[in-house]
Structure 1
Amino acid sequence: MAKQQTGQVDARHYDVITAPHITEKSTLASEHNAVVFKVSGDATKPQIKEAVEAIFGVSVTGVNTLVMKGKTKRWKGKAYKRTDQKKAIVTLKDGDSIDVTSGI
């Protein structure tokens, strides 16, 4: 299969990036040109980079991923486990920025 042109938004890009992850720590990371996203569990770093560049129109210099393991909790005395979540810390080129508070 031939490689698609970069910058072309495809429906699969929205399947890779689920939502922005907005916390105090991710806000502090934004001072260093980094944005944190929740991504699908089977997304790879090249897929995440391609999706961010296509959706937001910025240049990505690096992608770091982590899997946050789900905690075991109790509800009405019965134990259950929260699902695992995968997060991606995307570092942008100097001068580029993403405003996650506004819509796409």
Structure 2
Amino acid sequence: MESTQILLRPLISEKTTLMKQNANQVAFLVHPAANKIDVQRAVEDVFGVQVTAVNMVRYRPRVRTKFGRAAGKIRGYKKAYVTLAPGASIDFFEGV
């Protein structure tokens, strides 16, 4: 799998912004078949930074219910929390 296929998109929220400032961590939505080594290589190739650690979280697909009935599906996805080396940073919004 290529680096551009592994990293689907960065996750930008209040929580991930605080993680980026305090712990030098960045969150990505990744391909469900990717593992920690694939994500580490992809981040290092695409952004040119040193990666210290990668933590993965998998969310399983589930059925959303309302009043005991199936009301819709929530797709499963996989997130990766990437810890960058001290002094390294990734800027998603340049010039803003």
Query: TM-score under structure 2 normalisation?
Result: 0.85
Where does 1:6-21 land on structure 2 (aligned, <5 Å)?
12-21=2-11
Which of 31, 36, 44 is matched with 1:53 structurally? 44
SS at match of 2:41: helix
SS at match of 2:2: helix
Alpha-carbon deviation of 1:81? Answer: 1.4
Alpha-carbon deviation of 1:71? Answer: 4.7
Counterpart check, 1:83 vs 2:75: yes
Query: Where do 5+ consecutive residues of structure 2 fail to align?
Result: none
| Separation of aligned partners in 1, 2:44 and 2:18 | 22
Question: Cα distance 1:23–1:70, how it changes in 2: closer, same or farther (>3 A)?
Answer: farther
Question: Cα distance 1:13–1:82, how it changes in 2: closer, same or farther (>3 A)?
Answer: same
Counting aligned pairs with the same residue, the percent is 37
| Separation of aligned partners in 1, 2:6 and 2:19 | 21
Q: CA RMSD in A?
A: 1.9
What is the count of residue pairs matched by the alignment?
91
Query: Where do 5+ consecutive residues of structure 1 fail to align?
Result: 1-10
Which of 20, 37, 42 is matched with 1:30 structurally? 20
Is this contact kept in 1: 2:56–2:78, CA < 8 A? yes
